[in-house]
Structure 1
């Protein structure tokens, strides 16, 4: 997952904001008035982002148009995943991260967890429509009893199956 320098980040923010491919001149104009950059500077930044795999480009006449490969959210999630995997004290880092969140951010995190990790419904024994947890087994059967299981398993060896091994 590419990490961006300050100017690369500003360019990516402009690309993410428009949701359509942009020419170098469009990106340069979007950076104004905060950043009055030369056309060639913006072109170099976009080329660097292309080589990093952060943007794709396509010819439109004689000019390239650039668009992000990932959404801003997907890019941010990828960076977080990399940081998570490289961290030594993962649980501790997560606790510190969550402790620093505002109430609104915590609500957003709870909502995201509800979407990403929906709870499995708890089976209700009294519900006749509830799925059988182990179809084919009697209530008191277990795999050790051999009830509901094929006790006469095929015991062919590799040599039985492949004549070159025998």
Structure 2
């Protein structure tokens, strides 16, 4: 996921499961990485995720509270869009993707294309 490391992905999982924004300490307490992490480690990961625009943060008293910048699907789609934009040849990349797509993926693509065509008539 857009160069997310294992710990970044684990932090995102915690935030996606939360119903409200979380402070660093609570994110650290909810992580199930199998090892004890320092507060500063989790804080650094959250700062990096904020810089990468995967999380939003808001000040609550003296502490930052973090929440995902979108659903897992929205953020992955945004990542795919950014990757396409960096290739210089998004049409070729899309052709390769379409040729390798499963029947289910192709059906979803057809549905979206049909919806878009219907909206432009």
TM-score under structure 1 length normalisation: 0.56
1:14-163 map, 5 Å: 14-34=14-34, 36-115=36-115, 117-119=116-118
Q: Is the 8 A contact 2:22 2:67 kept in 1?
A: yes
Q: Which runs of 5+ in 2 are unaligned?
A: none
Distance 2:113 2:19 in 1: 26
Distance 1:13 1:118 in 2: 36
The CA deviation string for residues 107-148 of structure 1, in whole angstroms up to 9 with x for no partner, is 333333344x142587xxxxxxxxxxxxxxxxxxxxxxxxxx
Distance 1:114 1:72 in 2: 25
Q: Which has the higher contact order (CA 8 A, sep 6+)?
A: 2
TM-score under structure 2 length normalisation: 0.71
The alignment of Structure 1 onto Structure 2 pairs a total of residues equal to 119
Q: Which residue of 1 aligns with 2:10?
A: 10
Question: Could you say if the C-alpha distance between residues 109 and 57 of structure 1 is closer, same or farther in structure 2, counting changes exceeding 3 Å?
Answer: same
- Secondary structure of 1:37's aligned partner: coil
CA RMSD in angstroms, aligned pairs only: 2.8
